[in-house]
Structure 1
C-alpha cells in the first residue's frame, strides 16, 4: 500500500517520514490487515488537545501548551539531556537533520522522534524498562529567556506468560505527576472496564507498577499458523493504553501507548483418535486443525486417497478450529492384516499420513498416525436355510489351518460327510457344506431344527467359536431317527371341524398327545413301538404304523 498525507500538497508517508511526522503504518499481508494511524499533532493536521505524550510503535511524541513566546523556529535552540548530562545546544534545523522534529505553533510545542536516537537513553523505572528523551527548548527575547522542558518516556516491556500477553508500565511514569486512571483496549479503541473484565483482561497495581494482562487469544487480536519443522502459531495484539495523570495545576497529561505485542511461537499439535464402530470400520478423527490450515492430501498405507475412495468429512468446531473424519472398512484392500498366533487374534492396521497446508503461503506439514485394532478371528460359517436343509459357507483365509471343524466331537472329513449324507465341496476359495434336514447332528425344538458347527483349536481341541443355525420344519415331514423315535409334523387345517384345536388330537393311544401345536399343526414325537403303533413284519424289513 502507498499512503500520502494531503493538505497543502501530497506528502508520501515513507518509513522515515512517518516517524518524523507522527504517522504509523502497519501492514500484515498474511492477515489481510492494513492500518494507518496519525497523531493529533502530526504534520498537516490541525489540532486542539491537552498535554499529550504518545508512545507509538515507531516513534515517541510529547506536546505541551505554549506560553506567550515567539513561535519563530530560528529563535529557538534545543539541548538534550542524557544520563543527567547536558549535551551541546543546536538549532531546530540541525535537530531535524538528526531525526528530531520540533514543531511550534501558535498554541503548542511538539517534540517527536523515532526510537533509538543517539540522545535517547534507557532506564528502569520501578523495575520496568523505559526509553526516555529529555529536551529543553530555549529562546532569548531581549532580557528574557524562555525555557520549555519536554520529556517523552515510553515503557518498552511486553511479556508472554501462561496464556497472557502482559505489558507493564510504572504507575507514575512522570515522577511529578499523580497517576489517576488507566484505560485499555485493542486496535486503537478503548473499552469499558466491565467489558474488559468480561473478556478476561486483568489490570492490577503491584507496588508502583501497573500490570496489564490480556488473554493471547482475545477478541480483536490476530492469529497466524507457521511451519517451522512442526506446526506453530503466534498471536498479535495491538494494545492501546491511555494513562491520565494530573499535576497540582489540575491540567491533565494524557499518555497514549500503542504497542504491538506478539507471543513467541507456540506449538500447536493436531491430534488423531480412532473409534472402531460395530460395522468393522476404522473411524479416524484428525482434530484441532487451525482455521488457516487446510487438508491437502491423505495417504493410507502408502496409497493416496480422497473422498471418492474413502469417506472424508470436514467437521467444523466452535473454537475456530476444524477436523476431518476418515472412514475405512476393515476389509478394504488398503488395510494391512497381521495374525497373532499367541492369542488367536488378527491385527488390523492403518498407517495414515496427512498433508496439511498453511494458507496462504501453502507451506506444508505432515501428521502421521497409526491406528490398529485386534479382533478374534476363528473362522465363522455363514448359514442359510433352504427348502430341505441348511447350507453353510466358509471363505478361506491363509491362517484357517489353525482350526478344525467338528460336529460335537466328530471332526468334519470327506468320509464323515459321506457317511452322514452331507454334501461337501471344498476349493481354494471357500468350503460349502449342505446338511439335509433330518440327517445326523440336528436338534429339534418344536417346529424348528437347529444345527451347530464348532471351531476347535487344532493343537488343544478347545472350542474357539461356533456357528448355530436354526430353520423351521416344512409343514408335513416325517423323521425316523436311529434311536427308534418317530417325529412328525401334521397339518390338520383340512381335517379339523370349524373351531377345532390341534391340541385335542392324539395318536392311536389317546394318552399320546402332541408335543407342540399352533393354529393348524401338531408335532408328535414318540417311540415307534409305543402309543398304539401297529407293527408289521416282512421278509426284509419291519413297518411301524400309527395314526
Structure 2
C-alpha cells in the first residue's frame, strides 16, 4: 500500500462569528467556518464538562452521542486548556443542508444542565461555503472517524489492474441490482452486503449532487490496523457496486490514516509521523500544516520554526514547543510540571499518473509528557533599604499565589493590612512573578547575632501556589538571609556647647533593634518636653540638645572655676531591656552662679555676692545662718557653699505637696564670736532654697539621712531689701537663679567636690522626720541635737493636721 502524506489546514471563509443566540452571554459561544468543516466552541464555564449537542434538520433533532457522531460526521472534544467544548461537523454530516456542494447550512441545539435542570439553547443557523474547490478525491482523518468522498463523474483510468478485476468477480455473480458494498482487509476479501446492512453496522454512504461519500468510525471489524515503516496505520477499503442489466457500476473507496500519537524529543519539538506512501500510485506531495484549524504552506511553516522532512519513507512533522496556537497546562505531581497540547491540522495533496488529485486532511490532538516546570527564587535584598526583597519568578500563567508562610505565620493573598507587600510582575513570555517586600524590623523576621557582632536577618518563605482551574496546591520554599556586619549598638556624636551638650545620631537600617533611654526612661518626644530637652528626629538623623542642669546630668569637681557635667545616653536591647551600650559625654562648664539640690540632702551653691558685701569686703567673711558655716571656696566676690540641708541653720517649710529647705548668706565686718549675732548693712540679701515633692521623699527631717526620688528644685534669690521668710515655695522673688523640674532639675551630690548621681528608689507611703515634742502649753520645743529650726507655727491649721497625720502614721 502506498500513500503520500501531507499536512494541511486552510481556513474556509476566515469567518468568526459571535453568537447572538438568546440566553447565551456574549463571548461564551464561537462559530467558525473552515474549508471542510464547521466548528462550534462553547466555554466550559457555561456548559460544564458534559454538554450535549443536537443536530437539527427538517425531520427533527438528533442527539449527537459518541456512536452517532462517528457515523454521521461529528466530532466533539473537550479542551480544558483553552477552556471550551468543541463540536466539529463535516460538510457532509448527516443533518447538514447541502446545496450543490457549494453551500452547507448547519443547525444545532445546545443542551446544558443549570441549577439541576436541563436547558436547551437553539443555536443560530450558520451557512458555510468551501474556500478551496473540491478535489476529485478527498480523505479526512478526524479524531473519531475516517471519511472519503469522490466525484461522481469519474473518467476511466488509463490502465486496468488485477485488483480491479478481482473486485469485479463477485459483482458479476450478484443477482441484485441494489447497491452493495464489499470490504477488503489486508489479506482477504469479504462477502458483499447491501448498503442498508452496512449502515446498520455504523457505516455511512451518501450521494450528493456531485459526490459519493463514505464514512467509517475507527475500530470497525472490517477495517484493519498495520504498521508502515514503523508508523501505526488504520485503513478501510470498501468497494460499492451495482449491476444494471449487463452493466456493473463500481466505485473503489479507500481511506487510510496515520494513528501516530506523537513523540516529544529533548530538543523541544513534538514529532508526528505518517508513511510517505499510504495510497498506491500517488506522488508529487504538497504539504500544509498548522494548529487550531489554520493552514500555512510548508515554507511559511518552516519560517515559524516547524521542521518538515522525510526519513525512511516517512514524513516527519516537528512542531516547536512554543508554536503559536499550542496550549500549555500546569500540573502537580509532587512537584510542579507542565505539558503542551497541539491541535494539529495537516493537508497533503497528491496526484496519480493521470494527474487526478487526492487531498488528504488529518486532525490530531498531540500532547507532551509531563515536563519539569521549575520556578526560581531570587534574593534581591538591598541592605540600605532596610527590608527584604524576595522575588519568585517563572510562575506559569495558570498558576497563582494563594498564600505565603513567613517564618511559620500564614498570610493569605490578597494581603490585608500589614507592614509588607506582595506585587505581581507580568512578563511577555506568558509567565509572571511575585515580589515580596518585608521590612527588617517586622516582628515576623528572625534575628540572630554572631560572635563577630554580625546580625543575621532570616526570612523563611513558603509560597502556596494554586494551579487553575483544578486548584491543585503546590508549595515552594525559600530562605533569604541578610547579613549586617556592623550591627553594634548606635553611638551618638556629642559636642559641648555653652548651654549644655548636643547629641547627634545618624540612623542606620538596624538601629531599631535598640531602645534609647535616659537612665531607665525611654527617650520620646514627651520625655524630652518634660525634661526640657530639645529633640528633632527625621528619617536621616536624631538631634538632641540637653541644656545644663537638665535631669540626667552628673557633676564632678564643682569649684568656683567651674565643674564637669556628664550626660549619658543608654542603648538597651529592645526585647530584654538589657544595656548594650551607651554614649557618655563630659563637658566643662563655668557658670557665674549655680545651685544644686541633691537627692541625698545636700545643697551646693555658687553665688555672686558683689552686692551683698560692702565695698572692699571679702567674700571669705560670709557665712550662712549658722555663723560657723562659711564658704568652701571664694574668688573675689563669688563664694562656694556646700552643706547638708538639715544643717547650717536651715529652715524647713511644708505644705500639702512640697517641703522647702531655706538658708541665707550673710556678711560680717569682723570675725564673729560664738555668741555674737551677725548682721550686715549690705544692699542685697542672698537666699537659697531647695524644694522637694513630698511624694518622692523616703526619709525627711532625719539628722543622719535624707533620701529623695528626684533632685530638688533649687532657687538662689537676690533681694535688694530685707526679705521676709517665704510662706510658700511657689512665691518667686524679684531676682533669682532657679532650677525647675521642666528645664533644669539637678542631679544628686554627696559632697561639694564629689560625684553626683540621682538616686532611684520606689516611692514610700510614709514620711519619716526627726523626733520632737509639742508641749501642752503650745510652745514648740526643739530636739537637743538639732542644728536647724522648724517653722511649725507658721503652717496653717490644715497643713499642720495633714503633716501630723503623716507623722503619726510613721510612728514618729
TM value normalised by structure 2: 0.48
Q: Where in structure 2 are the equivalents of 1:394-543 lying within 5 Å?
A: 422-424=566-568, 428-430=577-579, 431-437=581-587
Partner of 2:599: none
1:41 is matched with 92
Shift of the 418–374 alpha-carbon distance from structure 1 to 2, 3 Å rule, reads farther
Is the 1:30–1:360 Cα contact (8 Å) retained in structure 2? no
Quote how far apart the aligned CAs of 1:122 are. Answer: 1.7
Distance 1:429 1:257, change over 3 A: same
Secondary structure of 1:43's counterpart equals: coil
Pairing 1:25–2:134 present: no
What is the distance in 2 between the residues matched to 1:241 and 1:44?
A: 26
* Local SS of the residue matching 1:350: strand
- 2:73 and 2:512 map into 1 onto residues whose CA distance is 82
RMSD: 3.0
Whole-angstrom distance in 1 between the partners of 2:555 and 2:478: 49
Cα distance, 1:421 vs structure 2: 5.9
How many angstroms does 1:345 deviate by?
A: 2.8
* Structure 2 counterpart of 1:2: 52
Local SS of the residue matching 2:429: coil
Which one scores higher on RCO, CA 8 angstroms, separation ≥ 6? 2
User: 1:154 and 2:257 equivalent?
Assistant: yes
Q: Is the 8 A contact 1:390 1:436 kept in 2?
A: no
Indicate conservation of the 8 Å contact 1:391/1:434, yes or no.
no
Q: 1:328 aligns with which of 429, 438, 445?
A: 438
- Aligned equivalent of 2:236, options 133, 148, 151: 133
Q: 1:191 aligned to 255, 275, 296, which one?
A: 296
Aligned to 2:140: 54
Residue 428 of structure 2: SS of its match in structure 1? coil
Report the Cα distance in structure 1 between the residues aligned to 2:233 and 2:189, rounded to whole angstroms. Answer: 20
SS across alignment from 2:184: strand
In the superposition, relative to structure 1, how do residues 417 and 301 fare at CA in structure 2: closer, same or farther (>3 Å)? farther
Cα gap change, 1:156 to 1:429, in 2 (>3 Å): same
1:92 match: 195
Instruction: Report if the CA contact (8 A) 1:391-1:432 is conserved.
Output: no
Shift of 1:90: 1.9
CA distance in 2, matches of 1:181, 1:395: 75
Partner of 1:240: 345
Report 1:259-270 matches (<5 A).
Answer: 259-270=364-375
Conservation of the 8 A alpha-carbon contact between 2:281 and 2:352: yes
Gaps of 5+ in 1: 399-415, 440-547
Q: Distance in 1 between matches of 2:198 and 2:327?
A: 38
Q: Deviations over 1:81-135 (max 9, x none)?
A: 2221112322222222222222334533222111122222222223322111112
- Per the alignment, in what secondary structure is the counterpart of residue 86 of structure 1? coil
* Cα distance in 1 between the residues matched to 2:195 and 2:298: 42
Q: Report the Cα offset of residue 301 of structure 1.
A: 0.4
**Structure 1 contact 31–224 (Cα < 8 Å) conserved:** no
SS of 2:369's equivalent in the other structure is coil
TM superposition shift of 1:272: 0.9
Query: Once the 2 structures are TM-superposed, how far is the Cα of residue 378 of structure 1 from its aligned partner?
Result: 5.0
Whether the 8 Å CA contact 1:20–1:99 is kept in 2: the answer is yes
Matched, 1:66 2:116: no
Whether the 8 Å contact between 2:292 and 2:345 is mirrored in structure 1 is yes
Distance between the aligned counterparts of 2:328 and 2:344, measured in 1? 15
Structure 1 pair 103–380 and aligned structure 2 pair: CA distance change class (3 A): same
1:381-392 paired onto structure 2 within 5 Å = 381-385=490-494, 387=497, 388-389=500-501, 391=503
Residue in 1 that maps onto 2:14: none
Q: 2:38 is matched with which residue?
A: none
| SS across alignment from 1:3 | strand
> Is 2:179 the counterpart of 1:76?
yes
Judge conservation of contact 1:294–1:358 (CA < 8 Å) in 2. Answer: yes
Shift of 1:391: 4.0
Structure 2 counterparts to residues 245-284 of structure 1, below 5 A: 245-277=350-382, 278-284=384-390
Partners of 1:436 and 1:74 in 2: CA distance? 128
* Deviation at residue 232 of structure 1 after TM alignment: 2.0
Counterpart secondary structure, 2:52: coil
Aligned-partner Cα distance in 2 for 1:225–1:345: 43
More strand by percentage: 1
- Matches of 1:113 and 1:96 in 2, distance apart? 10
Aligned partner of 1:303 in structure 2 is: 409
1:379 aligns with 2:488: yes
**Which structure has the larger Rg?**
2
1:28-67 Cα offsets, whole Å, 9 max, x none, are 2452223222223222342363211000011111122235
2:324 & 2:209 partners in 1: Cα distance?
42
The equivalent of 1:227 in structure 2 is 332
